[in-house]
Amino acid sequence: MSKITVLGTGIVGDTIGSKLIELGHSVAMGSRTINNEKALAFVAKHNGKAIEGTFADAAAYGEIIFNCTKGSGSIDALKMAGDNNLKDKIIVDISNPLDFSKGMPPFLTISNTNSLGEEIQKAFPTAKVVKTLNTMNCGLMVHPDSLNNGDHDTFICGNDANAKDKVIEILKSIGWSDKHIIDLGDITAARGTEMYLALWVRVLGSINTGNFNIKIVR
Amino acid sequence: MSKITVLGTGIVGDTIGSKLIELGHSVAMGSRTINNEKALAFVAKHNGKAIEGTFADAAAYGEIIFNCTKGSGSIDALKMAGDNNLKDKIIVDISNPLDFSKGMPPFLTISNTNSLGEEIQKAFPTAKVVKTLNTMNCGLMVHPDSLNNGDHDTFICGNDANAKDKVIEILKSIGWSDKHIIDLGDITAARGTEMYLALWVRVLGSINTGNFNIKIVR
């Protein structure tokens, strides 16, 4: 079992962090400030298995870092976490660079010839950024079996093969089967999974539920 | 049965045009110049059911226009087809604004806050642009049943509800069932289906076949 950092106190951080604890890991939840109300609630409900603190406190604790912050604030949050606390660690990036400031559906702040995954990798070159799970809502991320007996797919990409293997192990422990984890290659493939969000938000608007995912039918 | 224009002599135009003829329509294939070699071959193999000519010749003929040109040249091709020949007609846009000039995978020339579907609609305001089928290879467009008994999805969007209904009828005649045609709303949703191509090309690279499509699992 690992010591894992979850950056972000929103529903994504809470959901991912809770699942990791259920699997036996211990979790440090990081936030902009110490004693964040939601982080304290997270610690309280996971009696003894979770701690909380600043982004830097939490990042110093974990061996693996889950970036569950909003994409628009991810680079800032990771900078607050600190180079030294991220050095050589796996950053599992499940965020999307969505901008809701012009209303729904959102657009992307980075896309096409760049991606947030790549920007994070460039900003923290010794870290091993692995992008995954960003193509669905957080309930499905941690309960793939809840939809169509798990017969739908997630993607993974990143520059470091060992880091991807470690993240795949975590995905499998969550309930993702090997055949539903599609390796798209290096971190530039984050362009693909992030740009898919432009379709995701419109499918959401069409079918009126976020409880869906795609399956690659071949 | 309808008189249909297919703009473009590549594999997409040939495949779509051939299917439409098989369904009983008559087709005019348009190209930059008259007597294009591929257009002549298309006419020859569809004895009496197809004609060919310039983009303008072909567009004048059809009641419905299928844009099967490369996305990078679509606006130019449609301009050559001519405002008058497109006036009030349905343009079924199955193209994608992909730029391969920097190698594989391609990037998009328009995306995020705009799309090729929207640009075509703006350039030809009386036409009724309907974007569909652009999320898969052309073999699957016309043979949905060839993959997993047709259990995968296509998307449709456009500003004119009647035009979408007519295109849905054509899709159904091709073999797409109602439940696998997902209406995403107005033509701005083309941003979603075009940006998905960034994921499509990377899945292609990962699974080494273009013979796949997505299913929205809900």
Mean pLDDT, rounded, for A126-149: 98
| Cα distance between residue A106 and residue A87, in whole Å | 33
Over range B33-53, report the average pLDDT: 97
Residue-wise pLDDT for A29-82, tens only, equals 999 999 999 999 999 999 999 999 999 999 999 999 999 999 999 999 999 999
Please tell me the predicted confidence (pLDDT) of residue B157.
99
Please give the DSSP secondary-structure letter assigned to residue A143.
-
Distance CA B94, CA B156 (A): 10
Tell me the pLDDT tens digit for each residue of A155-167: 999 999 999 999 9
Residue of B61, B85, B60, B73 lying closest to B8 (CA atoms) = B73
User: For position B135, which CATH number holds?
Assistant: 3.40.50.720
Determine, yes or no, domain membership for B44: yes
* pLDDT score at B45: 97
pLDDT of residue B100: 95
* A212 occurs within a structural domain: no
B203–A211 CB contact, under 8 Å: no
Residues of chain A in contact with residue B179, where contact means CB-CB under 8 angstroms, are none
Residue B165 forms part of a structural domain: yes
Torsion over CA of A208, A212, A216 and A217, rounded to 10 degrees? -70
Residue B216 resides in a domain: no
Question: Nearest-CA residue of chain A relative to B194?
Answer: A199
Mean pLDDT for the stretch of residues A129-158: 98
Domain count across chain A: 1
Across chain B, mean pLDDT equals 98
Task: Report phi then psi at B132, rounded to 5.
Answer: -160, 165
Of A151, A206, A211, the CB nearest to B184: A206
Structure token digits, residue B133: 């089928």
Cα–Cα dist A101/A93, whole Å? 22
Query: Looking at residue A190, what is its pLDDT?
Result: 99
Alpha-carbon distance values, A147 to A49, A103, B159, B194, B195 (Å): 28, 29, 32, 26, 25
Distance CA B68, CA B56 (A): 15
Residues of A in contact with B191 (CB under 8 A): 198, 202
Does this complex have an ipTM over 0.95? yes
Packing angle between helix B74-81 and helix B116-123, nearest 10 degrees?
20
Residue A127 forms part of a structural domain: yes
CA nearest neighbour of B213 among B158, B142, B114: B142
pLDDT at residue B168 in the model: 98
Token digits of residue A22:
């259920």
Q: What pLDDT is stored for residue B162 in this prediction?
A: 98
- Measured between CA atoms, how close is A114 to chain B, in angstroms? 10
Contacts of B215 in chain A (CB under 8 A): 214-215, 217
What's the pLDDT score for residue B148? 98
Tell me, yes or no, whether A215 lies in a domain. no
Of the candidates B170, B142, B151, the one whose C-alpha atom is nearest the C-alpha of residue B214 is: B151
Distance from CA of B216 to the nearest CA of A (A): 5
Q: What is the pLDDT, as a whole number, of residue A144?
A: 98
CB within 8 Å: A202 and B216? no
Say if the Cβ atoms of B191 and A198 lie within 8 Å. yes
Range of the domain at A128: 3-207
Chain B residue numbers touching A105 (CB-CB < 8 A) = 192
- Looking at residue B214, its pLDDT comes to 98
Per-residue model confidence (pLDDT) at position A159 = 98
pLDDT of residue B163: 98
DSSP-based three-state secondary structure for A52:
strand
- Considering the domain boundaries, does residue A61 fall inside one? yes
User: B198 vs A192: CB contact, 8 Å cut-off?
Assistant: yes
pLDDT in tens, B69-88: 999 999 999 999 999 999 99
Q: How distant is the alpha carbon of residue B44 from its chain centre?
A: 23
A148 contacts on B by Cβ (under 8 Å):
217
Residue A154 lies in a domain: yes
Q: Do residue B192 and residue A198 have CB atoms under 8 angstroms apart?
A: yes
What pLDDT, in 10s, does the model give residues B97-110? 999 999 999 999 99
